[in-house]
Structure 1
Amino acid sequence: MSTIIDSSPPLTSKDRAAFATTARLLSCLVTESLARAVYYPLTGFEATGICVILSGNAAVDKPLYQSQDILAVIPLSQVPIFKHDGTDHRGREIGLLDPLDMMKFVFEIPNGEGLKTDAMAEHSDLIDAILSALASPGWAVSTTTLTLSQSPTSIWSKFADAISLESALSMDIASELESAVKWQKYSYEHPPQAPLFESSSVEWEQSIVEGHPTHPMHKTRRFLPPLQDLSPGSIDLYHPQLRFVSVPRENLKITYEFEELVRPLVDAASKAADALIEIPEGHVVIPVHELQVVHIHDKFSDAIIYPEKFSIPLLAQQSIRSVIVPNVYREHSLKLGVGIKLTSAVRTISPESAYLGPRFSAKVVPALNMDQNVVTVAKELASVVHAHSNGEIAKHCAAIVREAHENTSEERGERLIVCTALVESGHSGCDGHLPAVIRVFNLDTERKKVEWLDKFVDVFFKAFLPSMLTNGVAFECHPQNCVARFDIKTKVLKGFIIRDFGGLRVHPATLRETTGIELDFIEGHSIVAPDLEDVYTRMYHTVIHNHLQQLIRVLGLHYNGLGWAIVRRHLEAHIPRDHALYAAWLSPDRKTFPGKCFLRMRMSGMYRFHLHGPFPNLIHYCGVNME
């Protein structure tokens, strides 16, 4: 695949951040079918074509599209994936638009003639070509120029107004988009050091530059009241302090040996302070994130908050709320409730999750059809959550003790790398502009990339398909939850660690039939699937649409179809033809598959329960030439 060279001047960190969020917003609007988009090819430009995104109320049968019907115009560096059943005679309708399809700027229709800036003059030939395309039959566009989009909020506001979205919700989403831009700008200006293969697991966890590849709130950081809003640079979320509170035992729901597992933390804090943590009779000590102390004080009058001198330094993983405790915990880690909204969810721990995790680990995991040499489940060993009658309050006082394999990996001859970090680029240091997977594994030819991906996909499916095929259990295998295990000497992939049970999908009847185990959960928990098709839907999103798609694109094996050919071959090898999953994923008739709709969910106030829409089935994608 030839490399597309963008000869335009480098963008400022502010412009880069605005584009990063805008691109994800537009990706969701199109792929979730919230806004329709048509494609026009171009010749003689670095852009292969343009994507014209229409306002949410622009009906396909409207005779003429006018200026006000256009939400944005994006020059594309590559041809996107089209709908198989598009009906717009003006151009091919786009079914899946990815930020990596796009060139690094977006045009809008100005509210007048627009400003003739130097930047616009630089794109004058491209603008003329776009306006020429918009003079085709079916268009009645009156503008004589375009303007460069400066912020995702301008596009969002136009979309929200067009569909008459409730004003308060529209403004709330706009503020989250602004937060994403603000924190992304800081990340660009203060990039992490490019991790090496020899770097520690936590260094890889903390090497994230952009985060989620398609979520519009990919870098959003909203500190919920009574926390004050914190600006980038004013707090180091990767190096927080562990604080302690105590609550009467009768006001807590404790699962398994939580107190025993937390005791080393209490001892370490007492030693560091040279004073004992006084625990009243009948109270239980709970470790909490330093930012959560304000929430504890605000919401739980029964809690005793210990002075700041009883603190322990932490190293946070990518999720911010999962932390390791250096020099105290060797084989354990903590998952802490934190009242911060990252992407779509507040990072607290619900009573349902606190209840399920340790029970699922102890009872279900050992019985699953899983190759222990290929996949390791990071079990949740014990938990605590407040017994407050309102779960939305209780979730602010909760903690989970989880197995940690990071500190002992070198003893097993393994290097652990969280999969999200493999596809990141934009680091400081030597060759930091390259995606980590290409730089660290020296994938400097197409053949090397194909061979590396072939191994990855084979081991990945060996790790995560059996429990779904046999037991009806789908782990949430997106890149943040998956840690790859590489041989420390040869760099060969050995397997994976899977962590976090919040996004599980389990069909209880199939689990019971194949293991004899009855799933123990709180009624109404979002992990319960009504049927196996629902399990397959969750797995498709995390494995195909999210995890493998981004990896394939970063490796340069998407547009030529090579990456998806590898996926198809391994799926056919791992899924029996008479299994329902084969028909669900591999049938030629499955042109689309239900995809998780981040923006629709946000507009509906959902995050635990998913909304799905018909996305093009990537498993069948054969490359641009076939498109």
Structure 2
Amino acid sequence: MSLIHRTALERARFATSSRLIASLINEGLIRANADSTSIVVIDSFNDNGIEYKLFLSIVHPVPVGNLTSLDPADIVPFHIFDANSKELLCPIEIADHFWKGCTAELKQQLISSVQNQEWIYNHLPTKIPSLSSPPIQWEQYLIEGHPTHPMHRTRIPFDGFESILLAPYIKFISIPRSELVVYGSWESIMKDYLPPALSPDTLILPVHQLQVSKVLSLIPSATLIPNFERQSLAQASVRSIIPVPASDLPGYHLKMALSILTTGACRTISCYSAYNGPRITPLAKFVAPECLIPIGEVASIGSNSPDEMISKHIACIVREDPELLMPNESVIIAQCLVEKTPDGSISLVRAIFHLNTEQKCINFLTRYAELACAAFLPPMIKHGFCFEAHGQNTLARFDRHTGQLIGFAIRDFGGLRIHREQFESTTPFKLDLFPNSCIVTDDIMEVYTKVFHCLIQGHMNRLVRALDLHYSRKGWTIVRKAVEKHVGAASPAGKLWFKETVPYKAFLRMKLDHKYRDYIYGEIPNVLMLTEKNKNF
């Protein structure tokens, strides 16, 4: 049935349930078997020995037998049925029968995801962005969020606040200078944006309007500045904002602590990120190839409390404005390219760039894959430096007039991985980062694994599918060829990247173990093996 004939609630439930089912299969938490090339059966037994079955219709034929991996997009929309052939779209019912160990808290996160996704479906934009649209219009077009995480639209505790989250007011809180630390040129950059300090012994912290009560509760000596606020628009991450008008803070955006749970983490700002951002910026710009522009984090402010559970709520990072770094380009968040038009009929990338034939899609992907690999693989191979190049952090840069892809920009340094020995031996820098920062590793395989997860399993996987080049294997033939220009099969990276199975981030196991900074991986078939020559894989 067409998406337009389905209610927003049905669409939202399927969006969450398809991600949940795929994650359960990929992480080995349930047994799945293809009874035919188009029907997958999932079965589970409860503690009383009662069997439950779930039947899925699959978009493209799969081998009959045990099924160990599935993408949410592989499930025919709404074709999830119980043993009585009744449509079963509710993720809570699915979790009750098939996700052992799922707690009431995790079920609430699934409910939150559905509720917020339903709101978004009920408030879809009336038109799609274009090459002439400002970047914020692309940022706010994201419809389904994370493409594979079951909590893709979770907004706890701010369910129902979607309109505020899109355009929050920025409030200002006076805090004793003795309780804060500043890094970079914070005071000089922010002096015209902030209200005057109440005294020489205080500093002003800009705060997301939904974070005010949290900050005031943690710092008894803090004072909310009355009758002073500024407008903003939120980017895709919710906590990062652009000032409105831009002249309020020319040349910069703000990343703000916000105690909101989305996907796997609370979107606060750690003391590590506040300290490291301004120090990482020159390193990132040094290792970046010509086709990649890192968006610098040039200043920050944070709490000096030794308690991370306090300090993470009290921070703000100043980030460069991509529009000023790339003034004559169309800067588009990569994740938005793979979203669909409001009626769900076609991906945005195909609609915007008029990719109405397979050959046009092939041409687009060929250039995109080559430039993406040229942007993100040399830092990994040469310097042991991993940019977190998933779709939300990556900005695709297009010529505003011709639509030709020029290169990429990358933002957010909180999820980097840097191999200390290789980086310091191949650059003039010594790492001077917050002690015990998780972005520094002595295991080069951690760098290779994260780049693969973000760039290949996430970013490129969604684009290949959005261009309808996945099932034909033509897309992965193109991507693998681009990868092989930088990663040799016999190299340490190649031995990981070209295996038949590769690590895959286990979102649900991480939830069960309460992890978000430390990762848990499973193993799934490698998409880089899905080439036209490798038909038996």
Structure-2-length-normalised TM-score: 0.95
Q: 1:425 aligns with which of 322, 325, 340?
A: 340
Q: 1:92 aligns with which of 65, 78, 101?
A: 65
Matches within 5 A, 1:233-312: 235-266=163-194, 270=195, 277-307=196-226, 309-312=227-230
Q: 2:91 aligns with which of 152, 164, 172?
A: 152
Displacement of 1:535 in angstroms is 0.7
Q: Report if aligned partners of 1:36, 1:56 keep a CA contact under 8 Å in 2.
A: no
Which residue pairs with 1:24 in the alignment? 19
Q: 1:514 to 1:435 in 2, by over 3 A?
A: same
Q: 2:292 aligns with which of 375, 380, 392?
A: 375
Displacement of 1:330 in angstroms is 2.6
3-state SS in 1 of match to 2:55: strand
3-state SS in 2 of match to 1:51: strand
1:73 aligns to 2:73 (yes or no): no
Matches within 5 A, 1:148-187: 148-160=87-99, 163=100, 165=101, 170-187=103-120
3-state SS in 2 of match to 1:105: strand
Q: Within 1, Cα distance between the matches of 2:3 and 2:261?
A: 35
Displacement of 1:237 in angstroms is 1.2
Which residue pairs with 1:317 in the alignment? 235
Q: Report if aligned partners of 1:157, 1:170 keep a CA contact under 8 Å in 2.
A: no
1:549-583 deviation line (CA, Å, top 9, x unaligned): 11101111000100000011111122245532122
Matches within 5 A, 1:185-584: 185-192=118-125, 193-223=127-157, 229-231=158-160, 235-266=163-194, 270=195, 277-307=196-226, 309-325=227-243, 326-362=246-282, 364-368=283-287, 370-372=288-290, 374-407=291-324, 409=326, 411=327, 413-427=328-342, 433-576=345-488, 579-584=491-496
Matches within 5 A, 1:31-42: 31-41=26-36
Which amino acid in the other structure matches residue 51 of structure 1?
V
Which amino acid in the other structure matches residue 75 of structure 1?
S
Question: Identity of aligned pairs, percent?
Answer: 34
Q: Within 2, Cα distance between the matches of 1:598 and 1:478?
A: 15
Q: Within 2, Cα distance between the matches of 1:500 and 1:447?
A: 34
Q: Within 1, Cα distance between the matches of 2:40 and 2:256?
A: 43
Matches within 5 A, 1:103-142: 103-109=76-82
Displacement of 1:625 in angstroms is 5.6
Displacement of 1:393 in angstroms is 1.3
3-state SS in 2 of match to 1:500: coil
3-state SS in 1 of match to 2:171: strand
Which amino acid in the other structure matches residue 356 of structure 2?
D
Displacement of 1:147 in angstroms is 2.1
Which amino acid in the other structure matches residue 504 of structure 1?
L
3-state SS in 1 of match to 2:77: coil
3-state SS in 2 of match to 1:53: strand
Q: Report if aligned partners of 2:295, 2:411 keep a CA contact under 8 Å in 1.
A: yes
1:74-115 deviation line (CA, Å, top 9, x unaligned): 1112135x7xxxxxxxx52222211111112244546xxxxx
Q: Within 1, Cα distance between the matches of 2:235 and 2:531?
A: 36
Which amino acid in the other structure matches residue 300 of structure 2?
S
Q: Report if aligned partners of 2:54, 2:81 keep a CA contact under 8 Å in 1.
A: yes
Deviating runs (4+, > 6 A) in structure 1?
A: none
Structure 2, unaligned runs of 5 or more: none
Q: Within 1, Cα distance between the matches of 2:262 and 2:17?
A: 17
Paired residues in the alignment total 533
Q: Report if aligned partners of 2:115, 2:159 keep a CA contact under 8 Å in 1.
A: no
Q: Within 2, Cα distance between the matches of 1:159 and 1:448?
A: 42
Q: Within 2, Cα distance between the matches of 1:301 and 1:291?
A: 18
Which amino acid in the other structure matches residue 580 of structure 1?
P
Which amino acid in the other structure matches residue 198 of structure 2?
I
Q: Within 2, Cα distance between the matches of 1:366 and 1:18?
A: 42
Q: Within 1, Cα distance between the matches of 2:443 and 2:98?
A: 35
Q: Report if aligned partners of 1:209, 1:426 keep a CA contact under 8 Å in 2.
A: no
Displacement of 1:433 in angstroms is 3.6
Q: Within 1, Cα distance between the matches of 2:111 and 2:217?
A: 27
Q: Report if aligned partners of 2:17, 2:89 keep a CA contact under 8 Å in 1.
A: no
Q: 1:392 to 1:7 in 2, by over 3 A?
A: closer
Which residue pairs with 1:591 in the alignment? 500
Q: Within 2, Cα distance between the matches of 1:528 and 1:596?
A: 19
1:446-470 deviation line (CA, Å, top 9, x unaligned): 0000000000000001111111001
Structure 1, unaligned runs of 5 or more: 1-5, 42-47, 59-65, 83-90, 111-144, 224-228, 271-276
3-state SS in 2 of match to 1:593: strand
Which residue pairs with 2:75 in the alignment? 102
Q: Report if aligned partners of 1:354, 1:384 keep a CA contact under 8 Å in 2.
A: yes
Q: Report if aligned partners of 1:79, 1:101 keep a CA contact under 8 Å in 2.
A: no
Which amino acid in the other structure matches residue 512 of structure 1?
E
Displacement of 1:189 in angstroms is 1.1
Which amino acid in the other structure matches residue 609 of structure 1?
D
